[in-house]
Amino acid sequence: MQRQLFVRFHSVAAINAPTLAKRHLLSKFFPKMAPPYKLIYFDKPGRGEPIRLLFKYGGVVFEDVLIKREDWAQLKQKTPFGQLPLLEHNGKRVNQSVSICRYLGKLVKLAGKDDWEDLEIDAVVDTITDLRAKITIVRLEKNVALKKTMKEEALKETVPFYLSRLDALVQKNNGFLALGRLTWADLYFVGKIPIFSEFMGEDTIAKYTNLKALIDKIHALPGIKK
């Protein structure tokens, strides 16, 4: 199958890499090798963005393969479950964006220190996923009049319900969503902002000051900062 893919290579960032010596070792050898990880997703933020943020935060070299919509039909049959994103590593590939993020959270040391802490992180991530799912139902509605009504109700009830509670979590947890420190749940949430902003409008999220401060904090991290 011939198709044109846009591929981005991300080099090791100077954010919490284990040691200077290891960073030099990676810099020395990776340019001569294929990146150890390959992320395959559409050429938009979507479900792939939290994964990209985790890679960048950890300074992990990865190949960012961006699929155009017109190429998806041919590629779809060759994926495990007809879904993107896919993560490839050492000849293996897996789907499911949250599972990939959980794995990377451990890889870049943003996971919990025990099972209960992991449970707290997972609960926050699942809550964010619930909000995204409710928004997606509205976005996919084909009846224009019904979609308009559904969106108005979501912006009036669903969105404030979730965002107010997430905002309170950040206030409670020292400026983060869980455990009083930076975890992969924070990067997962910020990675979903493009989707949320498209639906809600940026002004809506800005009203929740704790969430807005968290977003700014993540965007200012070395490796993620543009």
Q: What is the pLDDT of residues 111-123, one digit of tens each?
A: 999 999 999 999 9
Higher pLDDT, 225 or 90: 90
CATH number for the domain formed by residue range(s) 115-219 = 1.20.1050.10
pLDDT at residue number 129: 95
Confidence of residue 203 (pLDDT cuts 50, 70, 90): confident
Query: pTM (2 decimals)?
Result: 0.83
d(CA 209, CA 188): 18
Is residue 17 over pLDDT 70?
no
**pLDDT-derived band at 189, boundaries 50, 70, 90:** very high
> In the prediction, which pLDDT does 29 show?
45
SS3 10: strand
From residue 136, alpha-carbon distances to 1, 15, 83, 132, 193 in Å are 32, 34, 16, 6, 14
Phi, psi (deg, nearest 5) at residue 17: -70, 150
Domain boundary assignment for the chain: 6-107, 115-219
Q: What is the pLDDT of residue 226?
A: 61
Q: What are the residues whose beta carbons fall under 8 Å from the beta carbon of 27, sequence distance 6 or more? A: 11, 12
> Rounded distance, CA 14 to CA 20, Å?
9
Q: Which two tokens stand for residue 139?
A: 């976005």
Q: Over pLDDT 90: what percentage of the chain?
A: 65
Largest CA distance in the chain: 60
How many whole angstroms separate alpha carbon 77 and alpha carbon 83?
Answer: 9
Distance CA 187, CA 218 (A): 7
Tens-digit pLDDT profile for residues 138-150: 989 999 999 999 9
CATH tag, 6-107: 3.40.30.10
Q: What is the pLDDT of residue 11?
A: 42
Q: Which amino acid is at 20?
A: L
